Structure 1
Amino acid sequence: MQVTTEALFTEARTARGYLPAEVPDATLQAIYELMKFGPTSGNCTPLRIVFVRTAEARDRLVPCMDPGSNQAKVRAAPVTAILGTDLAFPEKLPRLFPSADAPSWYAGNPAKTTDAAIHNAHIQVGYFIIAARALGLDAGPMGGFDGGAVDAAFWPSTPKRSIVICTLGHGDASRLHPRDPRLAFDEACSLA
């Protein structure tokens, strides 16, 4: 499969609506199989995902979203991914990073653990979006949800915390707005 920078970046858009095409479970697995190779610190890979595909699951998620467009986006999307972080990720480090005593880096330091979990999961969210685009899907990442309600509905009594909600499917180009501007290099970057 040849994937272009246009498909990943310059022509890719945040989906605001989707065509009525299903997203096979095999495609959702393929997204994970690609994104899992993106680097994280100490290979901690704290991102956890719930793919909301059924009407029952969608009905649990919609009330957790901000009223208005976010609820409508989740209702209309073929799939919505709850992207979260696992605050217990150090438990998996002996297997994921066996070359060091990585769990000791976090032992007794919940603030450092939470910080690493959130930052590295956000890095993985970026890989997730790129993987979805590489497989021909459009993504609609968003905030605007009650994280506590999402966690209670999908990860009750676990150390997992939702950080981003992302709709997935084949985007409806007729629903797109003109592309918003981006900052120029000199506005966002400096050379030191």
Structure 2
Amino acid sequence: MTLALDNAAQDLLFREAHTAHAFTDEPVSDEQIRAIHDLVKYGPTAFNQSPLRITLVRSPEARERLVRQLSEGNRAKTAAAPLTAVLSVDLDFHERLPELAPHAPNLKDAFFSELSVREAAGSFNAAIQIGYFIVGVRAAGLAAGPMTGFDAEGINKEFFGDGRQKVLAVVNIGKPGPDAYRPRAPRLAYEDVVTTV
């Protein structure tokens, strides 16, 4: 066997997993989200930056505020999803670096004193963490419906008014409902992606 994961795990995380567009009304508990976080927090980021922040949108009032900021095609499925997470980058992630990267004690001031540098590095590493989060949702036996069709400025104003965070993605989470998936779209072949030099 070439991979350490068995076929069932490979199917759960990748081969049979799809972006979900419809969910059952079965709730997603805080315990499930905590278990997901406790798994995916070990995924690597540069200097252990860990800039991803997760805002769980549970209340009807917050859900309504979020749905207003989504593109038309994303509104109904988000309003009906059992849980939605707003995934953002913490632009002040560098404040935690002395604790998270003790092997590089001068990192905070040496590299991340400029906001533009922090935003670029934080957004890149938070995007990596979003991938881990989606795989973690699948590992919990749930389906994820990640979206980028939204008014980012509107979401930032509604949920991150202090300017410390910026939205990168919105993800619906739950058990897949009937007709949750579209047909599998093609993927690039190994030869189209991998080059050896």
Whether the aligned pair in 2 keeps the contact of 1:8 and 1:133 (CA below 8 Å) is: yes
Rounded to whole Å, the distance in 2 between the matches of 1:47 and 1:130 is 15
SS at the partner of 1:128?
Answer: helix
SS at the partner of 1:161?
Answer: strand
Whether the aligned pair in 2 keeps the contact of 1:80 and 1:167 (CA below 8 Å) is: yes
Whether the aligned pair in 2 keeps the contact of 1:137 and 1:169 (CA below 8 Å) is: yes
Q: TM-score, normalised by structure 1?
A: 0.94
Structure 2 unmatched runs, 5+: 1-5
Whether the aligned pair in 2 keeps the contact of 1:90 and 1:106 (CA below 8 Å) is: no
1:166 pairs with 2:171 = yes
**Structure 2 match to 1:83:** 87
> How far did 1:158 drift?
3.3
Alignment of 1:98-177 (within 5 A): 98-100=102-104, 101-177=106-182
The list of structure 1 runs, each at least 4 consecutive aligned residues, that deviate by more than 3 angstroms after superposition, is none
Residues 107, 6 of structure 1: alpha-carbon distance in 2 compared, 3 angstrom cutoff: closer
Structure 1 unmatched runs, 5+: none
Letter of the structure 1 residue corresponding to residue 102 of structure 2? P
SS at the partner of 1:18?
Answer: coil
> How far did 1:173 drift?
4.4
How many aligned positions are there? 190
Rounded to whole Å, the distance in 1 between the matches of 2:44 and 2:192 is 27
Identity of aligned residues (%): 39
> How far did 1:26 drift?
0.8
Q: TM-score, normalised by structure 2?
A: 0.92
SS at the partner of 1:163?
Answer: strand
> How far did 1:104 drift?
2.2
